[in-house]
């Protein structure tokens, strides 16, 4: 009997959501510049960008927190979560809007891939270094994103964006791992 592709329904859902995230990112490649230009002509680009950025930042925070904090957090977990939030916030303040969108998109994608790989490992499947695999997979998908842009007249291939996508993956996986570590290390005495 062949081995099933997924080890659990949770793993299947996580991979499905990762696929949806990739499809969404790739599907907006041509549409994004057209939409941005239309908004710019109407003078709405800055306001909408601010709302989109804040919404995206909230989604990244929720994704990290929901994956890293399964129970009521202990004191040290809150410190770790607040530290991660502060790092993301300060980085967002230093980046332009386009880089911020990469950080949001690829952070969420990295968390989905990382959690899918962790779930696979929890189900007794061999997954060597899930964090590194999640970062490499996300970075590869980000590189493909940039390569696709090479063929779209309204877009520009930018190697720096590959670096932003990879940085987003690293930050998200490290943040999720830090929260999970804090839960394992300090959560045993606080079972909420």
Query: How many distinct structural domains can be found in the chain?
Result: 1
The arithmetic mean of pLDDT across residues 148-168, rounded, is: 86
Structural domain boundaries, residue 141: 56-185
Q: Look at residue 47 and tell me if it is in a domain.
A: no
| Predicted pLDDT of residue 80 | 63
Q: Is residue 39 part of a domain?
A: no
Q: Would 192 be classed as within a structural domain?
A: no
Res 142 pLDDT > 90: yes
Tell me, yes or no, whether 30 lies in a domain.
Answer: no
Amino acid 164: pLDDT: 86
pLDDT at 135: 97
Whole-number Å distance between alpha carbons of 191 and 183: 10
Sign of CA dihedral 106, 112, 116, 121: positive
Res 155 pLDDT > 50 = yes
For residue 170, is it within any domain? yes
Tokens of 180: 């999970």
Quote the CA–CA distance of 142 and 162 in Å, as a whole number. 6
137 in a domain, yes or no?
yes
Q: What is the pLDDT of residue 11?
A: 92
**pTM for the full predicted model:** 0.73
Give residue 189's pLDDT band: very low, low, confident or very high (50, 70, 90).
very low
pLDDT, one tens digit per residue, over 23-44 is 888 887 766 666 666 666 766 5
C-alpha 29, offset from chain centre: 18
145 assigned to some structural domain: yes
Q: Does 137 have pLDDT greater than 70?
A: yes
Residue 8 has pLDDT above 80, yes or no: yes
DSSP 2: P
**Under DSSP, is residue 123 helix (H, G, I), strand (E, B) or coil?**
coil
Which pLDDT value is given to residue 91? 61
């Amino acid at each position: 009997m062949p081995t099933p592709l997924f080890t659990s329904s949770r793993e299947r859902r996580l991979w499905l959501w990762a696929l949806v995230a990739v499809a969404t990112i790739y599907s907006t490649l041509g549409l994004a510049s057209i939409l941005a230009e239309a908004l710019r002509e109407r003078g709405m680009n800055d306001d909408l960008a601010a709302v989109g950025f804040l919404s995206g930042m909230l989604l990244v925070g929720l994704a990290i927190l929901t994956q890293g904090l399964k129970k009521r957090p202990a004191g040290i977990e809150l410190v770790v979560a607040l530290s991660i939030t502060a790092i993301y916030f300060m980085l967002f303040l230093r980046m332009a809007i386009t880089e911020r969108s990469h950080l949001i998109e690829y952070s969420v994608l990295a968390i989905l891939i990382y959690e899918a790989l962790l779930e696979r490992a929890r189900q007794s499947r061999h997954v060597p270094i899930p964090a590194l695999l999640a970062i490499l997979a996300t970075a590869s998908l980000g590189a493909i994103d940039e390569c696709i842009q090479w063929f779209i007249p309204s877009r520009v291939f930018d190697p720096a964006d590959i670096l932003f996508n990879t940085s987003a993956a690293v930050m998200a996986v490290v943040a999720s791992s830090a929260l999970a570590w804090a839960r394992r290390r300090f959560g045993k005495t606080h079972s909420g």
